[in-house]
Structure 1
Amino acid sequence: MQPQNKGSIQAENNVDETNLASATYHKTSPPFTIRPGSRFPSGVTVSAEGVNFCIFSRHADRAELLLYAAADSPMPFQVILLDPEHNRSFFFWHVFIEGLPVGTHYTWRMDGPSDTAATGRRFYPGKELLDPWAQAVSDTLWDRKRACSEQDSDSKSLRAIVAEPLPRISTDTTLRCKQTDLQGAVIYELHVGGFTHHPSSGVAYPGTFAALKEKIPYLQALGVTHVELLPVMAFDTQDIQPGVAARELHNYWGYSTHSFWAPHPGYCIDPVRATREFRDLVDALHAADICVLLDVVFNHTAEGGETGPVIHFRGLANDIFYHLDAIDRRRYLDFTGCGNTVNCNHPVVTAFIVHCLEYWVEVLGVDGFRFDLASVFARGDNGLPLANPPLPWTIESSRILSQVPLIAEAWDAAGLYHVGAFPGMAWSEWNGRYRDVMRRFVRGDPGLIGEIAARISGSADLYAHDERKPANSINFITCHDGFTLYDLVSYNSKHNEANGEDNRDGSNDNMSWNCGVEGESDDPAVCKLRWQQAKNLLAILMLSRGVPMLLAGDEVLRTQHGDNNAYCQDNELSWFDWRLTERNRDMLRYTRELIALRRRHPSLTSNRFFTGAPMPGRDYADITWHGVRLNEPLWYDPQARILAFTIAGQREDEEDLHVVLNMSDQSLDAPLPPLRTQCWHLAIDTAQSAPADILVRENQMPITGESCPVRPRSVVVLEART
């Protein structure tokens, strides 16, 4: 569909245009005086004299900047028509406005030649566009449905805000996280809004960055080293399916980014101070020795497919920022399942992404990133995989980004799968193979012993050949996408009816087991088994080399009642119910002690793969594998559901560990490796009730005899000491 006639661009100009000839310096009220400005950097740059605006649009031949006093101002107080001779350098439009105050809201209008089918270029001269480089935004008037109409010039657009400038954080400051890599990390994946939105949270401003600060003592007590925040870059809460919208639901997870440089206004007390509020949170977490990772979404944007809304890129440089069909350039190639795919290996787009990430590190203090559907980063202009895609290499080669953890969700929605082979050198990966095999093993699937051992050992089969390390494997059992831990042991099938899509959404293959009853149960035997299975999964996760990631709420058995795709449920179904910290305090205690056990054992957090060879100065190996008999692992038994192993301490003061995983339905009298001067002490027995399920060192009792009873579907861990 062709854009409106250029003449319509003047329709809303209710004020006189300011031009260079009328320059009067240091105005403090409109109309503000303007100068030509600079093409670097993009976005806004605030100085003592005023504000520089710059935006990229290669093929635009007309640009207007609209200034608003507030988020809900019905009309701009000044509209500036940029002069191509003075306000354009190459493909950048720019203007400097003297004395313009921080907090001013603004949009752009652009026009240019359009031949969408042939070139993919789109211009919408009647629509107001959001600055993609904006560091603060407002969605007060945003109407996604109206923005999807090309005829509707009154789009109720998103508005950018001239944000308070923040200084860069020095690399040697105390405001930086002390840990620069992931060795020894325990990651906690949480949703900023959902973590404090429940009425039981007891915070001053529920659902905000400020509220999360109030919960830092809880995170410290839990023992996690990193929080991984679900998307906090500003996203479109209205980006949902029609059936979902009919239920008055909205996009909750945030995987619909529109402003990559701006914190989400919904998480702010005052969106004008968004950058300050976010940085205050980061500083507070660093002061508590907790690092901050961001889940970022550069694979697609909130503009969606051909019928999606006009927000920014579509009306600025559609043919550059998106993958388009080679024959019919009106069509968007969709490798993400979200309507469009960012053309991330175009030089302009690569620079946009890298500079954005550097900003979040240098200015906002972030310590690393997890990249959603990162296999998209390997696709070229035509969507086909590249042997050496520029973006992943450019990210890890950045002077700034080379110093922080980079985690890839190493697949995309169109079948590209890179687990164990993501392009680049330094990338860690969400290990989907770890998740899948552990779920199957604990639910009772036989014949998995060999792969279970490989995953517990850090997945050397996936990473060692490329000279990567165990920390390149992010091990997880659950994450935001799918069942919670409690639901994994309580449901055989998904139950997503509340989403409004007739239970068609979400994965159908969850590798779960309901322990005999689907959903809620008051049968004591079923409930006990579910708790035991949950403890089994957590124990294996924390006993594995690599980097464990825990989903927020799993430590208190939070449930979504079988909904495995709660992306639209911004309500009590998804929120962290803080009453569970008391109701399920035994599971919380178990998780805390489990994390503590992991962190006090360097043999579990080591960033080296096991060799099976004797330890220096000792006559036994760093790891020894067993089955129902010592030194006889059941590698080739198709019915085996039992694996035991002994891990040697790395330091003289570190206890050896002996672990027995019995996922069979039969009790086992597990033989114990002989010790010369020490004896085995029982540390964990998931079949026991609290507090005997996990014992602190001073309460552990020695095991007498040459074996230890291990009940069905349980994990036993022993420590060797005098």
Structure 2
Amino acid sequence: MVASLDVTPGRPWPMGASADDDGVNFAVFSANATQIEVCLFSDDGRVELARIPLPERDGDIWHGHIAGVRAGTRYGLRAHGPYDPAGGHRFNPNKLLIDPYARQIDGKLRWSKALMGYEVGAAAGDLSYSTRDSAFAMPKGVVLGHDDFDWQGDTPPHHRSTETLIYEAHVKGLTALHPKVDPALRGTYAGLASDPVIDHLTSLGVTAIELLPVHAFVDDRFLAERGLRNYWGYQSIGFFAPEPRYMSRAGIAEFKEMVRRFHAAGIEVILDVVYNHTAEGDAFGPTLSFRGLDNASYYRLTEDRRHYVNDTGTGNALNLDHPAVLRMVMDSLRYWVEHMHVDGFRFDLAASLTRGAHGFTSSFLDTLRQDPVLAPARMIAEPWDVGPGGYRLGAFPHPFNEWNDRYRDDVRAFWRGDEHMLPALAKALLGSPEIFDRDGRRATASINLVTSHDGFTLADLVSYRHKHNEANGEGNRDGHTGNFSDNFGVEGPTDDPEIIAARARRQRAILATLFLSQGIPMLLGGDEIGNSQRGNNNAYAQDNAIGWIDWPTADAGLLAFTQKLTSLRRRYPVLSQRPFLHGRARAADGLPDLEWWHPDGRTPEDDDWHDHLSVIGLIVRMSAECADTDPEMQVFAVFNAGAARKVVLPEGPWHQILDSSDPKADDRPVSTPITAPAQSVLLFARPAKEEPK
């Protein structure tokens, strides 16, 4: 193969490796390199067969066409240029680099001192220079051929925001212990899209599955040394390649088949994407790709140029102010939509993506919002980072939805019994209008969550007062300390039937609050069956029974209750409206779209909101803007975080359709007053009209 290679200038587009009938065109960005080489490897990736300098440069794009190279070839890059860390440059051709545009990556990273651009242990630190070759320790890119995957007429579901229920899940964690998933497929894309998982999701009414990172990533060295793995996947090294550890067979067709099967079941696929940093870490991290190709362009550097801006808390931050880096991110997003058919993205530490040399800028947001390919895609921001001023909840423009941690904390605090939480709960129930009701944004801008991968599960939220992250090997210093959790007197598991019952009651009340709130609900995978992480609220390294969903001990009763909640939300559109509800009179009948209700049977006064009241009711009607739904539909909900209390109902008639304290209770007509049990959510609706005979 090597002897027959013929190198010509080729084209500066498309980026990465593109196969044709004669060979492969390579195009690589580097503004500061003096030479870029393509390295070809044997099929097992162990033997380097050739190094071919790219012969042409257009602007900052190095390119060349190599005849005789075929699809399936393993390859990497080497970049020549100045090794001057104090000036921001860390070129070292002894380090094999992953092509940032590689569509498939093969092999595992083997941690070695050879991965470092500097000489480990040298007195000069990262200013020293390593001559060790790193190819043996590096994964390799794979040249892809013609895309012949049969999508079978795949059509994205495109659910309306008011119909959306997001289910956050981990590819392996959801399937590793699932008794009905083929053992050979557990932990894979194929297992995730298997019939047992899809049946479970559709039984819950899930319309979108949000996957923890599936871009190719690496295990941190400190985790590997402890016998742990980067389970969550927030150390991306390839923004175009699916993570190979989730493949049960070679190739990326398995990922596409997963998406196609979810779409056929009416479920959108949303990817949690990490464009804010890479796996290369700080100045003492490995040279794997971007650092070796053009450190000064890809990363945000401090004024001294030697060190990295660290607004992400991971050692580095990508420089989206640079056109080539911004282009790479946009190309990546378009690739996943166009070629992999995904439906949306949740941007990890999204505030970091808007940072520039002069504070928060809109270049990334503006570029994204004008892109026609991405127009149909869901955009979800985690609206913060760890840098100065990085908490940006409510600052992202339409069409972004935002993870609402204010909702999370206020709902948790209310049900824990914290004082004076009624006003905060009221705002949460309405989709946080004080945060999002501006510039034409809707109530569905708020992604309502009470739990996520980052923090306690729902079962642990009611079972632990303190985090228990000892298994992470960091002395229990990692993870959140402010969890707004409780244990009902016993830390962790207990055999006390009263405590078990009280914990179950609070879980149901919290879930009911989630599904009766305006906004888009997000359910953490496993919460519907009572999954526990044994008090670990930062299970990022727990690729084991701590991090996996414990299907064998699933709480069937909690699952049935969750299914009832999602069914009620679908049945009563008043619970999921796009317009914010402000209690304004409707033109059709003069009735307000929202009425708050004191348990004594009156409108709450200002003093009531700031009293020690722990129970509130509200009547919800359709907004005047929702002309396509039944204007007579209305529900009455009661939220009681305290002791049992009598509640005078609004003028009836009413049917009680939900009692979170008694999940098996049948729907029944009620008359005023009623007793709201302790720690309960009640829901009432008008009885259905009889059809005329």
TM-score clears 0.5: yes
Q: Tell me how far 1:121 sits from its aligned partner.
A: 1.3
The answer to whether the Cα contact below 8 Å between 2:383 and 2:396 also exists between their aligned partners in 1 is no
Alignment of 1:180-329 (within 5 A): 181-198=160-177, 200-203=179-182, 204-214=184-194, 215-236=197-218, 238-239=219-220, 242=222, 244-271=223-250, 273-274=251-252, 276-326=253-303, 328-329=304-305
SS at structure 2 position matched to 1:196: coil
What is the CA deviation profile of residues 432-490 of structure 1, one whole-angstrom value per residue up to 9, with x for unaligned ones? 11111001001111212122111211111111122211111100000000000000010
SS at structure 1 position matched to 2:453: coil
SS at structure 2 position matched to 1:597: helix
**1:140 aligned partner, one-letter code:** K
The answer to whether the Cα contact below 8 Å between 1:393 and 1:423 also exists between their aligned partners in 2 is no
Distance 1:657 1:354 in 2: 44
Matched with 1:536 is 509
Identity of aligned residues (%): 37
**2:140 aligned partner, one-letter code:** R
Matched with 2:639 is 661
What is the CA deviation profile of residues 554-599 of structure 1, one whole-angstrom value per residue up to 9, with x for unaligned ones? 0001000100000000001111222234xx1010011111111111
The answer to whether the Cα contact below 8 Å between 2:80 and 2:92 also exists between their aligned partners in 1 is yes
The answer to whether the Cα contact below 8 Å between 1:662 and 1:712 also exists between their aligned partners in 2 is yes
What is the CA deviation profile of residues 86-128 of structure 1, one whole-angstrom value per residue up to 9, with x for unaligned ones? x22221111212242221110011101233213x011011111
The answer to whether the Cα contact below 8 Å between 1:408 and 1:427 also exists between their aligned partners in 2 is yes
Distance 2:204 2:669 in 1: 27
Q: Taking structure 1 as reference, are residues 110 and 520 closer, same or farther at Cα in structure 2, changes over 3 Å only?
A: same
Alignment of 1:678-689 (within 5 A): 679-688=653-662
Distance 1:352 1:616 in 2: 50
2:96 to 122, 128, 132: 128
The answer to whether the Cα contact below 8 Å between 1:633 and 1:644 also exists between their aligned partners in 2 is no
Distance 1:415 1:599 in 2: 41
What is the CA deviation profile of residues 260-285 of structure 1, one whole-angstrom value per residue up to 9, with x for unaligned ones? 011001111234x12x2111111110
SS at structure 2 position matched to 1:251: coil
Matched with 1:9 is none
Q: Tell me how far 1:617 sits from its aligned partner.
A: 3.1
What is the CA deviation profile of residues 515-542 of structure 1, one whole-angstrom value per residue up to 9, with x for unaligned ones? 2211101111100111111111110010
Matched with 1:505 is 478
**2:19 aligned partner, one-letter code:** V
Distance 1:590 1:415 in 2: 42
Which range moves more in the overlay, 290-299 or 161-170? Answer: 161-170
Distance 2:352 2:401 in 1: 16
**2:73 aligned partner, one-letter code:** T
Distance 1:40 1:61 in 2: 20
Which range moves more in the overlay, 504-513 or 407-416? Answer: 407-416
The answer to whether the Cα contact below 8 Å between 1:601 and 1:654 also exists between their aligned partners in 2 is no
SS at structure 2 position matched to 1:550: strand
Q: Taking structure 1 as reference, are residues 349 and 149 closer, same or farther at Cα in structure 2, changes over 3 Å only?
A: closer
SS at structure 1 position matched to 2:83: coil
Moved over 4 A (4+): 167-170
The reply to whether residue 617 of structure 1 matches residue 588 of structure 2 is yes
Q: How many residue pairs were aligned?
A: 665
Distance 1:353 1:306 in 2: 23
Matched with 1:3 is none
Distance 1:484 1:340 in 2: 29
SS at structure 2 position matched to 1:259: strand
Q: Where do 5+ consecutive residues of structure 1 fail to align?
A: 1-27
The reply to whether residue 98 of structure 1 matches residue 67 of structure 2 is yes
Matched with 1:580 is 553
**2:191 aligned partner, one-letter code:** A
Distance 1:267 1:682 in 2: 46
Matched with 1:23 is none
The answer to whether the Cα contact below 8 Å between 2:492 and 2:535 also exists between their aligned partners in 1 is yes
Q: Taking structure 1 as reference, are residues 423 and 659 closer, same or farther at Cα in structure 2, changes over 3 Å only?
A: closer
Q: Taking structure 1 as reference, are residues 184 and 324 closer, same or farther at Cα in structure 2, changes over 3 Å only?
A: same
Matched with 1:716 is 682
Matched with 2:385 is 412
SS at structure 1 position matched to 2:24: strand
Q: Tell me how far 1:198 sits from its aligned partner.
A: 2.1
The answer to whether the Cα contact below 8 Å between 1:419 and 1:432 also exists between their aligned partners in 2 is no
Q: Taking structure 1 as reference, are residues 561 and 54 closer, same or farther at Cα in structure 2, changes over 3 Å only?
A: same
The answer to whether the Cα contact below 8 Å between 2:23 and 2:65 also exists between their aligned partners in 1 is yes
Distance 1:493 1:61 in 2: 54
1:489 to 449, 462, 469: 462
Distance 1:144 1:416 in 2: 37
Q: Tell me how far 1:620 sits from its aligned partner.
A: 2.4
SS at structure 2 position matched to 1:453: helix
Matched with 1:5 is none
What is the CA deviation profile of residues 378-407 of structure 1, one whole-angstrom value per residue up to 9, with x for unaligned ones? 2113xx523x42011211111111221111
Matched with 2:33 is 60
Matched with 2:77 is 108
Which range moves more in the overlay, 390-399 or 619-628? Answer: 619-628
Matched with 1:159 is 140
Matched with 1:17 is none
**1:253 aligned partner, one-letter code:** W
The answer to whether the Cα contact below 8 Å between 1:229 and 1:293 also exists between their aligned partners in 2 is yes
**1:135 aligned partner, one-letter code:** R
Distance 1:56 1:277 in 2: 29
Q: Tell me how far 1:220 sits from its aligned partner.
A: 1.1
Matched with 1:374 is 350
Q: Taking structure 1 as reference, are residues 305 and 191 closer, same or farther at Cα in structure 2, changes over 3 Å only?
A: same
The answer to whether the Cα contact below 8 Å between 2:574 and 2:633 also exists between their aligned partners in 1 is no
What is the CA deviation profile of residues 219-272 of structure 1, one whole-angstrom value per residue up to 9, with x for unaligned ones? 111211000000000011x215x3x4443011000000000011001111234x
Q: Tell me how far 1:60 sits from its aligned partner.
A: 1.2
Q: Tell me how far 1:352 sits from its aligned partner.
A: 1.0
Q: Tell me how far 1:212 sits from its aligned partner.
A: 0.6
Which range moves more in the overlay, 444-453 or 196-205? Answer: 196-205
Alignment of 1:45-84 (within 5 A): 45-70=18-43, 72-83=44-55
SS at structure 1 position matched to 2:668: coil
The answer to whether the Cα contact below 8 Å between 2:326 and 2:364 also exists between their aligned partners in 1 is yes
Matched with 2:124 is none
Q: Taking structure 1 as reference, are residues 371 and 570 closer, same or farther at Cα in structure 2, changes over 3 Å only?
A: same
Distance 1:101 1:470 in 2: 51
Which range moves more in the overlay, 154-163 or 564-573? Answer: 154-163
Q: Tell me how far 1:51 sits from its aligned partner.
A: 1.6
Q: Taking structure 1 as reference, are residues 144 and 715 closer, same or farther at Cα in structure 2, changes over 3 Å only?
A: farther
**2:342 aligned partner, one-letter code:** V
SS at structure 2 position matched to 1:318: helix
Matched with 2:327 is 351
The answer to whether the Cα contact below 8 Å between 2:343 and 2:378 also exists between their aligned partners in 1 is yes
Distance 1:707 1:554 in 2: 33
SS at structure 2 position matched to 1:535: helix
The answer to whether the Cα contact below 8 Å between 2:644 and 2:677 also exists between their aligned partners in 1 is yes
Matched with 1:7 is none
1:429 to 398, 402, 406: 402
Distance 1:180 1:55 in 2: 38
The answer to whether the Cα contact below 8 Å between 1:181 and 1:405 also exists between their aligned partners in 2 is no
Alignment of 1:632-711 (within 5 A): 632-633=603-604, 635-649=608-622, 651-652=629-630, 655-664=633-642, 666-675=643-652, 679-688=653-662, 690-692=663-665, 695=666, 700-703=667-670, 705-711=671-677
The reply to whether residue 362 of structure 1 matches residue 338 of structure 2 is yes
SS at structure 1 position matched to 2:173: helix
Q: Taking structure 1 as reference, are residues 132 and 462 closer, same or farther at Cα in structure 2, changes over 3 Å only?
A: same
